[in-house]
Chains A and B, each alone.
Chain A
Amino acid sequence: MGVTSYSQSMIKLGLCTLVLFLAASSWAAVLPQDRSDALYHSYNGDGVSIDGPSVLLRKKISDKVSISANYYVDSISGASIDVRATASEYQEERKETTLAADFLHNKSILSLSYTASDENDFKARSIYLGLSQDFFGDLTTLSLSYARGQDEVGKTGDANFIEQADRQKYGLGLTQVATKNLIMGLSLENISDSGYLNNPYRSIRFVDPQAAKGYRFVTEIYPNSRSSNALALTANYYLAYRASIHGEVRVYQDSWGIKGRNAKLAYTHTIGDEWIIDIRSRIYSQDKADFYQDLFSRENEFNFMARDKELSTFSNLSVGLSVSYEKSLSSTATFKKWSVNGEVDHIRFKYDDFRNVLAEGAVGEEPLFAFNANVLRVFFSVWY
């Protein structure tokens, strides 16, 4: 906790210093391009199917201001292993709306956004503030961000259950042009949560010789605060035949004891002016939270107890492919360019200390859980 607090203080000090530095500077910056995207997304894995649309619209309303709006829907059916162990499958819908604006001011970019997410038992509201600026002849870009969110957590079937959670994020990014073919990036983000951080539908299990199965379930108990730090390094390298390689590594640590790390390698290849093909692979692993166990010895063994598989020790490996067809139109036409895109990722999750209680086995010796997921995106984009 001491290290985390120190890191957070250093990030805040750095942000304040950089805000003062950037406010006194002036270099080039550009607003995002005007474009619209219509996407269909689909996730299938661990007994859960989630799909829906996402529509993003972005338009400059002057040479200094760009506004955007995003409408996103998750239609969820089925139930993950955690839910199937204690309850039945369900269906629900989550709708998310984001309104954002980017301001070009004194050659720096100020970004603001507001996001509202609603489902029948969960409501989230968040604001985002970002500042980025190029300097050193546009070779270096510094970006700072702050986000604050508030969640209202409910529970289906219990109208009296209403809990709150508060979330804050501090971000610092540095992008550096290293050569005419290489850009490198560093990103640091601190996130602090407080309030009700449980999932009200998740349960721990504990040994009970009197129970039919030899164990029983009770609701998890999480700490009411969590602070995390993540550091990422990226590199993008341009190859002579209009292709590129992207590499990324990230390390993560939080006050719950979770330590994570991931690495990604991607290759982008073009065919003519119209086809862009991406292939990628990513590997992720994490160590469990201090208060996670697959099986506890008794009901109130510890102050905090979790059996959420996202807090367990596990790893995943993904491979992905994207294909885009882009068609440029006349620069004087209303629409400058359009593209049709398809993306698919296959992810394999393997858990080291989360067991499949739906499978046969002695208590605490059931097979370890694993599952595969497929993630599909199909979208159409137009630039104007």
Chain B
Amino acid sequence: MMTGCATKIEPWVKPYERSHLADPIMSQGRNPVTASYMKHVLEAREGARGAEGGAGGGCGCN
């Protein structure tokens, strides 16, 4: 049961393979000033709020 805990997880995408992920076009929030504005526009006119725009970026290769 516990043997799985000792297994080391190797990253399956190496740092040198992340140029595509680091490209600004992969981020919907690449321009924070307009992303926060659109969040404000929608939040003021819709009942739903929270979790807008997903979890944000992050590939350790900014």
Contacts and interface: CB of A to CB of B under 8 A. Distances in A.
Interface of A: 27-30, 32-33, 37, 39, 41, 43, 54, 56, 70, 72, 132, 134, 136-139, 141, 143, 169, 171, 173-175, 177, 179-181, 183, 185-191, 228-234, 236, 238, 242-244, 246, 248, 250, 252, 254, 258, 260-262, 266, 268, 270, 276, 284, 286, 289, 310-311, 316, 341, 343, 345, 349, 375, 377, 379, 381
B4 interface: no
A73 B50 CA distance: 22
A191 B33 contact: no
B1 interface: no
Interface string B8-38: 0111110101101101111110011110111
26 contacts: A54-B37, A134-B58, A134-B60, A138-B60, A141-B55, A171-B51, A173-B54, A177-B21, A177-B59, A180-B17, A181-B21, A183-B21, A186-B54, A191-B49, A234-B54, A236-B26, A236-B27, A236-B28, A238-B20, A238-B26, A244-B23, A261-B48, A262-B48, A276-B25, A284-B46, A381-B31
Contacts of B49: 191, 228, 230, 252
A232 B60 contact: no
Interface of B: 9-13, 15, 17-18, 20-21, 23-28, 31-34, 36-38, 41-42, 44-62
B51 A268 contact: no
Contacts of B11: 136-139
Given A134-B58, A234-B55, A286 B25 contact: no
A357 B55 CA distance: 41
Contacts of A143: 55-56, 58
Nearest to B60: A138
A43 B42 CA distance: 11
A187 B23 contact: no
A341 B56 contact: no
The 4 closest A-B pairs by CB, nearest first: A137-B11, A138-B60, A141-B58, A234-B54
B55 A252 contact: no
Contacts of A284: 42, 46, 48
Given A28-B60, A243-B25, A139 B48 contact: no
B49 to A, nearest CB: 6
Given A183-B59, A379-B33, A381-B31, A286 B46 contact: yes
A187 B55 contact: yes
Given A187-B53, A232-B51, A286-B46, 9 more contacts: A28-B60, A41-B34, A54-B37, A132-B58, A143-B55, A173-B56, A231-B51, A234-B55, A254-B47
Given A228-B49, A230-B51, A341-B31, A43 B12 contact: no
Contacts of A236: 26-28
Contact of A248 (B18, B27, B54): B54
Given A43-B41, A276-B25, A375-B41, A37 B33 contact: yes
Contacts of B12: 139
A248 B41 CA distance: 18
A30 to B, nearest CB: 4
Contact of A137 (B10, B38, B48): B10
Contacts of A132: 58
Contacts of B48: 228, 230, 250, 252, 258, 260-262, 284, 286
B54 A341 contact: no
A180 B56 contact: no
A222 to B, nearest CB: 13
A377 B48 CA distance: 23
A377 B25 CA distance: 18
Contacts of A246: 28
A270 B55 contact: no
A238 B17 CA distance: 13
A138 B27 CA distance: 17
A246 B26 CA distance: 8
B40 to A, nearest CB: 9
